[in-house]
């Protein structure tokens, strides 16, 4: 590519953005957290961070949004760093496989959540990170870790969102108390949920999120620096969990359509990994019936197809 | 590699075979189908079919075994060829996600099985293949398709196994009648199960199975011939389904450990796909708690790691 | 009461019949068995058999209808006569407690149905009655028993209804095969269901049904004759089962409103017992959401209140 | 009966007490509430309050124990007094029917508990009683009501038990938060549970409990005074709920064996009602597998049989 030419990847992003920007069917903005209900369904951001260091963006890629459950990928990484495979004694590695997931499954499986990427599992992960510290310290550690991954100290938690969840999170209170009744939480429920609600309230732009997730595409190493975040095997395994469990009861469909490991959040963000090649972050606040970004999923399907990134092709 | 040298892949297979052959913990042979209960837990076969046409084997790779549920990959391919995406109106694409799967899930989801790789879903697939024909014709079509894929006309159904299933398959009778009560089977239950029990009784060696599955690693084309079996997109999507749903309630664990799309059968066989590179078939009759071959899973984990084939790495 | 006066109970029946006869909201006739779908929702029959030998009727009390699940009370009585308390090793005594009953519960409880008055439980009861005989013999025994109880040899099975069920009973096929997979049916599924479908097709009028059930109100003895059918304790226990389990997932509501042990059938019939006093049979084909006769339930509520028969009063 | 003779009922109580006192198989004392774990499994109390005003006792009938869930009968009565049949929009009237009850059922039925005598239902009842007041006021109202029913101002709540529950009640926290997430609790979870835990900690002797429940045997009126607590119809309906739902997943078995409406508590107490005749309270701390007093159930079975009180006999 000579100077003056546009990179083909930039062309793909621009094309995808142009095609989706005019869509009128954009899903419904999550309304169960008051602060999220204000999000503008018209927004659409796309960002790609290649493992060779280059990055490309389109649309609202620099506007911060609440990453919500996407943060579970980062807390899982932190918790594995703390306790390693001992984590798997307290949380499973199987898809939850049911719209009736969460609490029904917890009753049948005696307080052990199916995987670390559903709410119940991420609450156990928060309990692991808490590890005898005060919530404030654990939250600080998580923020510092995400800033380190994204190489961006401006990343912060949105306190209004964190408070909003704390006030209305009855379902998560139920999950946490239920697991505690089985002895699968070691700290006070309010402290664990304090950590959980705060990391869900992390605010990142697509550009920041793509960069923060890039170590998973780069065999566990930071892009550019070469600094190792996790071993190659652990990066591979986190990707496997994202593929089988990253989209609640829409995980199979996402694998079928997009063919990349990914994790979605009810704020409308999705992080997807093309191993060896790229980390992709998309954002659009309208959700589909499974609670995943409607346009975000479509954008990823188009990007993965046009760039030829599916992990299920040769 | 000059003449006289052994291919590194052959060395890997030999090493894996040697390490596992002496294992005393080999799982339990399936005993609910009388004919399978006679299988020798001491057997272990490994076969790799590369997309470049070369193949490698180790151990009991030329001994035919009952492929059982592995056959669901082939009937799914056939059914998609017949009705295309209309199949997804009658069967889902999500992991079943529960040891309490099958019939409980069917009640909650009104007779629609979660995916085509669990029993209920494969019974719907058999109903699609039947499509107004007699069971004998549908069975003939399936056998011819597998022979075509493996380029081997000696492949056959073991009639004693088929009869054995027919006699004892009360659980599958329950599933089929239950789905019929919701209108999700269009033919008589006995005819549909006749087709299902017979294709599960297909007998293939590891070498034959690896060859039969190779089109999934080769962008939908037969290895060697270049003949297209399915489109590249469909091959990719079948691989995605194998990854998320191929091992019942152990699918997440298989993705985590092995990192390849795969489908197991209670006969102890597993077919795994390294997209773009290879199709791998392993066989050892002893099963783990989830009903997947114990040594077969371990063999695939070792082969995938040593060959660097995980789809979750770069 | 001197000659010429009308018995107060006759006045109650006449009043209830008059009030309900004009009702326009009559529920929906069961349509899943074709032969039942023809029933006229305008019919309403009431019959009371007192333990002192007198009986009273109103409306269509002499028209035979398909008693369907009401027959489970009689087969339960027969099976207890054959194997006594050993029956309770194969079937429970607890309400099913869920609209998702049947097959979900069977999976959790390993093929043991919750009670003998739901379909799965009654199929086990039919298996007990079969006891090595041919279906024709078992069916004959059941018919003779009901004729004996009602003192009426004209009672018969409607062969068109029995055939209709045999053709369309996929759900019951599923239940039976499922229990057989757990070893909780000892005979071939088709034979057991042959018995089950035939006893459900018994045709009785309200007058006959009230008489057939009167032994349960009369401490286990036939009214008039004094002949003992079951011990007093067994009559009491069958009544207890009818109260807690006789109306599927509407059993609690029936106890709350009517306050009498009862058993309903999808043909629109209900048999209720006022211990020590009377057996009551009502019939109206329209069903409520729980599958129990809508007007029949209301009629029983009014009769029980006006006659002061609730078992929950002093 | 002339002076000097012992009443036959006293003889029954003495005989039952004598036969059970020596039993070595006494079940297990509830250990999940620390304060209850100290109860002496050797204790056995029996008390009968006849509607004619006479009363009889045997064993430890004057020793106060924690009535726990038996208190749900009294709070249900109070809540019906406040809101009448509107209560049934927030709680059902069907048996829960499953050892997997509580939270699974709540998910399927959108936060509406099956009946007011299981924990979830009683928590809704507590929310109704709270009705805008402070917990302290609601608790005071409940205590005054029970004192009024028992005509005994010495009845009190055991503060150590109430605190003990507050500290360890994670499961109830989960239930309450879960229902709140569906909007089926109107007050703060901690306030509602404050009321709930306190009324469960009511301490009564068998004699007091039999007296407090006697209005249910006496067509809704206080024994002796003639003062009406509830209408006759409401008393009948509360009795019906106790029969179908009073013993968790052992309700069917209790109806089958004892044949009386009853409500048990994990403290080992049971209140049973023989409509028109008597209220019976028994206490023995050892529990059976369903969480109901083992010796208490047996005592009631013997008393009901010998006194001929089953509601299922004539």
D192 with D261, same domain? no
Asked if residue C127 belongs to a domain, the reply is: yes
B193 and B76 fall within a common domain: yes
Asked if D47 and D280 count as a contact pair (C-beta separation under 8 A), the reply is yes
If asked whether residues D280 and D225 sit together in one domain, one would say: yes
Predicted confidence band of residue B233 (pLDDT cuts 50, 70, 90): very high
Mean pLDDT of the C47-69 span: 97
Per the listing, tokens 């272990």 go with: B44
Q: Name the closest residue on chain D to residue A181, using Cα atoms.
A: D170
Q: What is the pLDDT of residue A59?
A: 98
Q: What is the ipTM of this complex?
A: 0.94
What is the predicted pLDDT for the residue at C283? 98
**Top-confidence range, B81-85, B165-169, C109-113:** B81-85
Could you tell me how far CA C44 lies from the centroid of its own chain? 17
Lowest mean pLDDT among B37-51, B106-120, B262-276: B106-120
Closest Cα in chain D, distance from residue C203 (Å): 27
Q: How far apart are CA A183 and CA A205, in angstroms?
A: 37
**D314 occurs within a structural domain:** no
Note whether residue A1 is domain-resident.
no
Examine the pLDDT at B248 and tell me if it is beyond 90: no
Q: Which residue in the set C100, C181, C189 is minimally distant from B171, CB to CB?
A: C181
- How does DSSP classify residue C169? -
Per-residue pLDDT tens over the stretch B16-26: 999 999 899 99
**The whole model's pTM is what?**
0.93
Q: Is the pLDDT of residue B162 over 70?
A: yes
Residue at C38 is within a domain = yes
* pLDDT of B109 higher than 70: yes
In total, how many domains does chain A have? 2
Please name the helix (run of DSSP H) or strand (run of DSSP E) that holds residue C47, with its range, or none: strand C45-50
Q: Does D217 touch chain C (CB under 8 A)?
A: yes
Q: Which domain holds residue B57?
A: 8-68+205-307
pLDDT at D113: 93
D313 lies in some domain? no
Domain boundary, last residue among B180, B200, B220: B200
Q: How far is B169 from chain C (nearest CA, A)?
A: 8
In what helix (H) or strand (E) does residue C305 lie, and over which residues does it extend?
helix C294-307
- Indicate whether D167 and D274 sit together in one domain: no
Report the candidate in B144, B157, B102 with the shortest Cα–Cα distance to residue B124.
B102
Q: Which chains neighbour D (Cβ–Cβ under 8 Å, 3 or more pairs)?
A: A, C
C3 in a domain, yes or no?
Answer: no
Question: In the structure encoding, which two tokens stand for residue A204, read together?
Answer: 């990142």
Residues of chain A with pLDDT under 70: 1-4, 97-102
Q: Token pair of B274, please?
A: 């390294």
| For helices B71-83 and B189-200, angle between their N-to-C axes, nearest 10 degrees | 130
- Of B189, B266, B280, B282, the catalytic one is B266
- CB–CB of A239/A261 below 8 Å? yes
Cα gap A113→A101, rounded to integer Å? 10
D176 lies in the same domain as D223: no
CB contact under 8 A, D98 and C97: yes
Using the beta-carbon criterion (under 8 Å), do D311 and C275 form an inter-chain contact? yes
CATH (domain of C79)? 3.40.710.10
Last residue of a domain, one of C200, C217, C232: C200
CA distance C201 to A283: 61
- Alpha-helical (H) ranges within chain A are 8-21, 71-83, 102-108, 119-130, 135-150, 159-168, 170-181, 189-200, 206-212, 214-217, 232-245, 251-257, 294-307
Residues of chain D with pLDDT under 70: 1-4, 97-102
Instruction: For residues A43 and A45, give the distance between their C-alpha atoms in angstroms, rounded to a whole number.
Output: 7
Are C218 and C250 contained in the same domain? yes
Cβ atoms of residues D257 and D297 within 8 Å: yes
Residues B190, B100 share a domain: yes
Between helix D71-83 and helix D119-130 the angle, nearest 10°, is 50
Asked if C194 and C166 count as a contact pair (C-beta separation under 8 A), the reply is yes
Q: Judge if A45 and A162 occupy the same domain.
A: no
- B261 at the A interface (CB within 8 A)? yes
Do B94 and B196 sit in the same domain of this protein?
yes
3-state secondary structure of C115: coil
Which residue, of D200, D234, D259, is where some domain finishes? D200
Whether residue D1 lies inside any domain: the answer is: no
Q: What is the pLDDT of residue C100?
A: 39
C308 and chain B: CB distance < 8 Å anywhere? no
Structure confidence at residue C102 as a pLDDT band (50, 70, 90)? low
Shared domain for D208 and D63, answered yes or no, is yes
Give the pLDDT band (50/70/90) at residue C101. Answer: very low
User: What's residue B160's pLDDT?
Assistant: 93
Of the two residues B313 and D10, the one the predictor is more confident about is D10
Q: How many CB atoms lie within 10 A of CB B113?
A: 26
One domain, residues C40 and C132: no
Residues C194, C79: one domain?
Answer: yes
Residues 6+ apart with CB under 8 A from A145: A74, A77, A78
In a domain, A249, yes or no: yes
Alpha-carbon span B182 to B103, nearest angstrom = 13
**Partner-chain residue, chosen from B104, B174, B189, that has the shortest CB–CB distance to C181:** B174
Residue A186: per-residue pLDDT? 97
Task: Decide: helix, strand or coil at residue B45.
Answer: strand
Decide if A281 contacts A210 (C-beta within 8 A): yes
Contact call for residues C251 and C289 (beta carbons, < 8 A): no
């Amino acid at each position: 590519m000579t100077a003056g030419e546009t990179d083909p990847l930039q062309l793909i992003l621009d094309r995808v953005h142009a095609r989706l920007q005019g869509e009128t069917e954009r899903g419904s903005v999550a309304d169960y957290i008051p602060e999220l209900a204000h999000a503008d369904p018209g927004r659409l951001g796309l960002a790609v961070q290649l493992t060779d260091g280059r990055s490309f963006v389109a649309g609202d890629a620099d506007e911060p949004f609440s990453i919500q459950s996407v943060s579970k990928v980062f807390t899982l990484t932190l918790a594995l760093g703390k306790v390693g495979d001992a984590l798997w004694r307290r949380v499973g590695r199987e898809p939850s496989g049911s719209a009736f997931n969460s609490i029904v499954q917890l009753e049948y499986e005696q307080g052990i959540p199916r995987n670390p990427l559903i709410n119940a599992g991420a609450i156990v992960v928060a309990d692991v990170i808490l590890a005898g510290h005060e919530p404030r310290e654990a939250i600080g550690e998580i923020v510092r870790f995400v800033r380190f991954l994204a190489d961006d100290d401006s990343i912060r938690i949105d306190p209004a969102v964190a408070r909003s969840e704390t006030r209305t999170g009855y379902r998560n209170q139920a999950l946490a108390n239920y697991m505690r009744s089985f002895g699968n939480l070691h700290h006070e429920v309010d402290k664990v949920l304090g950590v959980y609600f705060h990391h869900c309230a992390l605010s990142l732009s697509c550009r920041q999120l793509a960069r923060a997730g890039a170590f998973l595409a780069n065999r566990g190493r930071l892009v550019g620096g070469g600094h190792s975040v996790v071993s190659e095997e652990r990066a591979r395994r986190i990707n496997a969990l994202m593929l089988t469990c990253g989209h609640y009861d829409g995980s199979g469909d996402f694998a079928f359509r997009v063919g990349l490991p990914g994790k979605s959040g009810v704020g409308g963000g999705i992080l997807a990994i093309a191993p060896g090649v790229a980390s992709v972050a998309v954002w659009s606040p309208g959700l589909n019936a499974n609670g995943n970004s409607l346009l975000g999923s479509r954008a990823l399907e188009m990007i993965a197809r046009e760039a030829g990134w599916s992990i299920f092709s040769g």
